[in-house]
Amino acid sequence: MSNRNKGIILLLLSAFGFSLMAAFVKLSGDVPTIQKTFFRNIVSAFIAFGFVRYHKERLFGKKENQKLLLLRSALGAVGIVLFFYAIDHLVLSDADMLNKLSPFLTIIFSALFLKERTRLFQVVAIIIAFIGTLFIIKPAFSFDVIPYLAGVFSAIFAAGAYTVLRVLGSREKFYTVVFYFSFFTTVVLLPFVIGFYEPMSAKQWVYLLSAGVFATVGQFGITIAYKFAPAREISIFFYSTVVYSALISIFLFGQIPDVYSIIGYIVIFGASLYMFLKNNEDGKKQAI
């Protein structure tokens, strides 16, 4: 099997993992968002800890990378809390698609903070994707819009985390980064969980622990996938999460996205497909 196909399969597996994570988070019901985030991360921390110890790497990375690791973890922690809030209050596929704005926002942040050159087609794709979000959010200037804004801001913070990851690059092993992020989030959220803990049923425990396992599958899958093939060649396949989430929304929760949301999905997916094709076209030109 070619490396590209391995990357595609891993990305599809990662997307499936993240979709199941979101489904289990929603299934866990009226547990506070902070508590859900805590359990998702403590499971990831234990699994990543095993990988770090097995490979005999440093648990908390190198001294010179501490600021970057802290920044990546802080941004990621806020992003995931907001994402879980959106999952709890929106149709699952709406929350998922809003979170998928992060690749477009990463382009903006990379241009602003890393001084990476932004191409015209990327600007066009960002504008198209933004128009797509308006179809999903359907701005009404009421409290109903808050969960949608949480979804958008979850993408903003995720994009910030991914931008920092671009700087970290090969400086740290992926399992060290995952452990650092999961451990950081667990420690930061622990006082809130202790102070506002809500008792959970056995079923809710199973759902949240399962969310942590599948989040780890998603995290490792996407990280390893990009080691087999460049993002420009395979990133489009990560949008399969929206298909998974839409099917889960319909069959598991009986939530059917409205027509405007579906138009928004198509517009955002179209923007990502356009960017994907242009990136590949540029890659072939550079190879020649």
Q: Give yes or no for residue 58 having a pLDDT over 80.
A: yes
Q: Exposure of 285 by Cβ count < 10 A (0-12 exposed, 13-18 middle, 19+ buried)?
A: exposed
> CA torsion sign, 140 to 146 to 152 to 157?
positive
pLDDT digits (tens, 9 = 90+) for 226-238: 778 766 667 778 8
- The domain locations on the chain are 3-119+144-255
Residue 256: count of CB within 10 angstroms of its CB: 12
pTM, full prediction? 0.87
pLDDT category at 239 given cuts 50, 70, 90 is confident
Q: Give yes or no for residue 174 having a pLDDT over 90.
A: no
Residue 64 is classified by DSSP as G
Helix (H) or strand (E) holding 192: helix 174-195
Quick check: 171 and 62 in contact, CB under 8 A? yes
Quick check: 128 and 264 in contact, CB under 8 A? no
pLDDT at 141: 59
Q: How far apart are CA 223 and CA 135, in angstroms?
A: 31
pLDDT category at 286 given cuts 50, 70, 90 is low
Average model confidence (pLDDT) for the chain?
Answer: 88
Q: How far apart are CA 175 and CA 182, in angstroms?
A: 10
pLDDT category at 220 given cuts 50, 70, 90 is confident
Q: How far apart are CA 80 and CA 33, in angstroms?
A: 10
Contacts of 99 by beta carbon, 8 Å cutoff, 6+ apart? 83, 86, 151, 154, 155, 158
For residue 99, which amino acid is it?
Answer: N
pLDDT at 181: 93
Residue found by looking up tokens 């990305």 in the block: 11
Q: How far apart are CA 219 and CA 13, in angstroms?
A: 10
Q: How far apart are CA 12 and CA 222, in angstroms?
A: 9
